[in-house]
């Protein structure tokens, strides 16, 4: 394995991704923050054996990695889909690390011109891994340059116009493109068809998240009781990123408000109370959404655009981040006429008033 593997990270691209839809978000619904990025570098697994959860995905990925290594060729282009914070970026790092390759990271919204993409692609060495987060938000004009690059490792770039137009051919070195998306349905069919490997990441079980919290606590030099890590896991919305974020908030609370060095369940309960995160892992935005559907629209159905306007929230925030978990725990239904609350959600509202 190449110990000198480098990770190239486009800071401007990261900032553009983080700022998307950032206004008005509650603590659990924000994009990955600078703090998350800093801690992710230390908490993120570097080998597939260290990656917790997604067992079926891990088994299939391990076979693909070993086969590519035995053939001594770059692994096929792959697409990771699923809600934010489930480990798509971590898996891209693991793939690059396993293949001993250099990892270049960028995001779909930040590649605004064909020249940006060509610059990135022509700088890739043989076997390098290019990771494009939010690839579904890449402009169609730029996206079309990826088709020949992924298929034939070539780019045809047209300069000038009319009778002066000429085509410049770029031959690329074989590389691996890893795309990450929260909405795979928005990917154009020609782009989707050029990925050889597809993986969908699902929400984690509390027991898996508890293991992640325990391991992260060790790396942060925090002593936490098993029941406390499980309680954080139950409130983490099935998402490792949120579990690690809540662990850091509980650590801060314990450091300031308690004198004990060990974090127990009662400390987690108190910290979650100050963050207004209830026993189901829902925060103010989740409860506000349910309250609006219940009070303003009599439990639904209500259109998603109407709901976003009423909440004064970005549509993508609701669709990509809020809804998936509410659907998973059975608090919300999607119908042809709109969103509807379930009886369980109405009962939760009564117990947990905003």
Active site residues: 88-89, 133, 182, 241
Q: What are phi and psi of 102, to 5 degrees?
A: -85, 140
Q: What are phi and psi of 50, to 5 degrees?
A: -85, -10
Q: What value does the CA radius of gyration of the chain take, rounded to a whole number of Å?
A: 22
Alpha carbon separation from 181 to 73, 81, 299, 309, 318 (Å, rounded)? 25, 5, 31, 25, 16
Distance of alpha carbon 176 from alpha carbon 127, whole angstroms: 7
Q: Which residues contact 37 (CB under 8 A, 6 or more apart)?
A: 14
Give the torsion through C-alpha atoms of 128, 110, 31, 8, to 10 deg: 30
Helix/strand/coil (H/E/C) assignment for every residue in 103-120: EEEEEHHHCCCHHHHHHH
Closest by alpha carbon to 283, among 87, 24, 88?
A: 24
Closest by alpha carbon to 293, among 316, 260, 318?
A: 318
Closest by alpha carbon to 224, among 271, 190, 279?
A: 271
């Amino acid at each position: 394995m190449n110990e000198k593997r480098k990770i190239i990270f486009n800071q401007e691209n990261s900032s553009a991704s983080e700022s998307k839809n950032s206004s008005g978000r509650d603590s659990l619904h924000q994009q990955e923050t600078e703090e998350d990025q800093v801690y992710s570098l230390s908490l993120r697994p570097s080998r597939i054996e260290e990656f917790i959860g997604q067992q079926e995905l891990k088994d299939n990925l391990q076979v693909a990695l070993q086969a590519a290594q035995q053939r001594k060729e770059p692994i096929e282009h792959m697409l990771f889909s699923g809600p934010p914070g489930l480990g798509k970026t971590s898996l891209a790092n693991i793939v690059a690390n396993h293949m001993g390759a250099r990892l270049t990271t960028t995001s779909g919204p930040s590649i605004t011109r064909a020249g940006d993409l060509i610059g990135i692609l022509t700088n890739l060495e043989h076997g390098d891994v290019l990771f494009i987060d939010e690839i579904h938000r890449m402009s169609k004009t730029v996206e079309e340059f990826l088709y020949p690059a992924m298929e034939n490792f070539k780019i045809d770039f047209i300069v000038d116009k009319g009778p002066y137009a000429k085509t410049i051919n770029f031959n690329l070195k074989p590389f691996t493109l890893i795309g990450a998306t929260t909405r795979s349905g928005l990917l154009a069919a020609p782009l989707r068809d050029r990925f050889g490997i597809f993986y969908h990441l699902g929400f984690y079980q509390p027991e898996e998240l508890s293991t992640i919290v325990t391991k992260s606590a060790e790396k942060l030099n925090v002593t936490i009781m098993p029941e406390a890590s499980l309680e954080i896991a139950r409130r983490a919305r099935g998402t490792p990123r949120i579990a690690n974020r809540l662990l850091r908030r509980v650590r801060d609370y314990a450091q300031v408000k308690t004198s004990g060095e060990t974090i127990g369940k009662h400390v987690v309960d108190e910290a979650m109370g100050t963050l207004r995160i209830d026993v189901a892992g829902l925060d103010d935005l989740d409860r506000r959404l349910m309250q609006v559907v219940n009070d303003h629209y009599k439990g639904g159905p209500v259109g998603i655009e109407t709901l976003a306007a009423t909440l004064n929230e970005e549509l993508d925030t609701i669709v990509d981040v809020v809804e998936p978990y509410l659907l998973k725990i059975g608090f919300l239904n999607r119908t042809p006429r709109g969103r509807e609350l379930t009886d369980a959600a109405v009962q939760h509202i009564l117990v947990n008033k905003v």
